[in-house]
């Protein structure tokens, strides 16, 4: 490790209080989603912070009062050296009125070596550590030869892919690190997609006609959409068990690829036979699968289930998949993400972790999802790496360890410095 870099790492410890105050500052901005539409002040703070460090700022509304911020620090030799995206979300999990916090969730405090407040673990600790790494390099007068792109995005907690907006806006790099909650593991992830399955009758019937639908001699070819949805649910359970038996992925407990029947809506009121029933499902799939593949498998199976039922054969289920917002259109997609352990950037991140922390890095798979899948889907090699544990993310008295926050910031300083000093070309699998 160079003497210059070693001096930066010492600064992290010497300026611990400054880093803690930066985390606190971010937590004090109330950005829970839902309700969302509340991030503009926090994002303006991030934009101003980056602008002061000579970043070119691109700030635009994804939704009213919910802007993305992208800061670009052009390298002094961009065409010859590797570029990096550092990505994180500014929104935090919602806070219910009946949650029994020891303190106000948005007035952070220090307890037992940890910063307590909503978003401390997920993921304002990660954002603050990354911003502090940028601050230290700026103050040291370090001019990176490769481009550094910082993305502070909105909407991750409610499936509003601010990161997808960044990708669609054309932001690319040779590698991306998503500084979300990973307990300092270097991680990929499975994927998630929500969908609506609808069973609908072509005709509506009074409830007094039910006898004619279900007893001999009734001579009425009709059915309750709710009862027919029961067959669809049974088919979903059958497919879920089949996946658990036939599919696996290293790092995942078998059967992690679930299909959750989360919400059911059906019928008009008690005087009608239910003429429509809608089922909201959440499908988890493995890192080596795509949501397009999963959609095809679910639809094909459920249409076969329907084909075996005389009424459903004539009134097959219909499907709506994904969505851009759990708030706006009740749907979301989180693409999967595979981490290539042999990629040069992953090797350098592993090396930075081990050089700074003096213990072996863990490369594994997150049991949850982040925006990392959108970056990977855009063709950018990506890994998740951030402070905080899922035990505390979204929890009452959410918190992040100060020691882990310091460790993370040191590793990120090292990795940013090393990666943006790596020449383009050559073998991506050689360190």
- Which residues belong to the active site? 91, 156
Q: Tell me how crowded residue 390 is: count the other CB atoms within 10 A of its CB.
A: 15
Structure tokens at 317: 């289920």
Residue 6's contacts (CB-CB under 8 Å, 6 or more residues apart) are none
- Name which of 166, 187, 157, 210 is nearest 334 in CA terms: 157
d(CA 120, CA 425): 38
d(CA 102, CA 349): 37
- Name which of 416, 429, 422, 425 is nearest 85 in CA terms: 416
With residue 103 as reference, give the H or E element that holds it.
none
| 31 φ/ψ angles, rounded to the nearest 5 degrees | -125, 40
d(CA 359, CA 362): 9
- Name which of 185, 136, 144 is nearest 19 in CA terms: 136
Evaluate whether 281 touches 197 at the Cβ level (below 8 Å).
yes
Cα-Cα-Cα-Cα torsion 336, 163, 346, 389, nearest 10 degrees, comes to -80
d(CA 47, CA 252): 38
Evaluate whether 46 touches 154 at the Cβ level (below 8 Å).
no
Evaluate whether 88 touches 26 at the Cβ level (below 8 Å).
no
Residue-wise DSSP of 239-263: HHHHHHHH---TTS-TT-S-EEEEE
Q: What is the DSSP letter of 122?
A: I
């Amino acid at each position: 490790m160079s003497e210059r870099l070693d001096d930066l790492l010492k600064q992290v410890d010497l300026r611990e209080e400054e880093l803690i105050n930066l985390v606190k500052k971010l937590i004090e901005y109330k950005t829970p989603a839902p309700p969302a539409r509340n991030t503009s002040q926090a994002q303006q703070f991030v934009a101003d912070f980056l602008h002061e460090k000579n970043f070119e700022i691109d700030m635009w509304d994804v939704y009213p009062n919910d802007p993305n911020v992208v800061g670009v620090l052009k390298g002094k030799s961009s065409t010859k050296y590797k570029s990096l995206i550092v990505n994180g979300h500014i929104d935090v999990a919602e806070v219910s009125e009946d949650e029994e916090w020891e303190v106000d969730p948005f007035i952070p405090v220090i307890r037992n070596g940890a910063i307590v407040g909503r978003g401390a673990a997920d993921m304002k600790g990660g954002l603050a550590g990354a911003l502090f790494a940028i601050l230290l390099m700026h103050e040291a007068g370090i001019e990176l030869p490769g481009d550094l792109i910082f993305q502070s995005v909105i909407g991750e907690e409610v499936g509003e892919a601010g990161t997808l907006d960044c990708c669609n806006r054309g932001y690319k790099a040779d590698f991306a690190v998503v500084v979300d909650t990973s307990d300092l593991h270097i991680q990929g992830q499975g994927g998630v997609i929500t969908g609506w399955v609808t069973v609908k009758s072509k005709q509506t019937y009074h409830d007094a006609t039910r006898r004619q639908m279900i007893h001999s001699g009734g001579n009425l070819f009709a059915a309750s959409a709710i009862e027919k949805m029961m067959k669809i649910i049974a088919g979903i359970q059958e497919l879920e068990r089949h996946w658990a038996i036939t599919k696996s992925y290293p790092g995942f407990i078998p059967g992690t690829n679930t299909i959750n029947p989360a919400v059911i809506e059906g019928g008009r009121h008690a005087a009608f036979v239910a003429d429509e029933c809608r089922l909201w499902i959440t499908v988890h799939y493995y890192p080596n699968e795509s949501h397009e593949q999963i959609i095809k498998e679910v639809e094909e199976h459920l249409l076969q289930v329907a084909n075996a039922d005389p009424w459903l054969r004539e009134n097959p289920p219909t499907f709506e998949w994904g969505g851009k917002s759990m708030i706006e259109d009740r749907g979301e997609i989180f693409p999967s993400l595979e981490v290539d352990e042999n990629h040069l950037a992953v090797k350098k991140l592993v090396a930075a972790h081990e050089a700074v922390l003096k213990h072996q890095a863990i490369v594994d798979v997150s049991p949850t999802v982040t925006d990392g899948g959108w970056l990977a889907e855009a063709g950018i090699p990506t890994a998740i790496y951030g402070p905080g544990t899922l035990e505390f993310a979204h929890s009452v008295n959410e918190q992040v360890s100060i020691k882990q926050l310091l460790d993370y910031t040191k590793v990120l300083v090292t990795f940013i410095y090393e990666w943006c000093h790596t020449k383009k070309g050559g073998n991506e699998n050689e360190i």
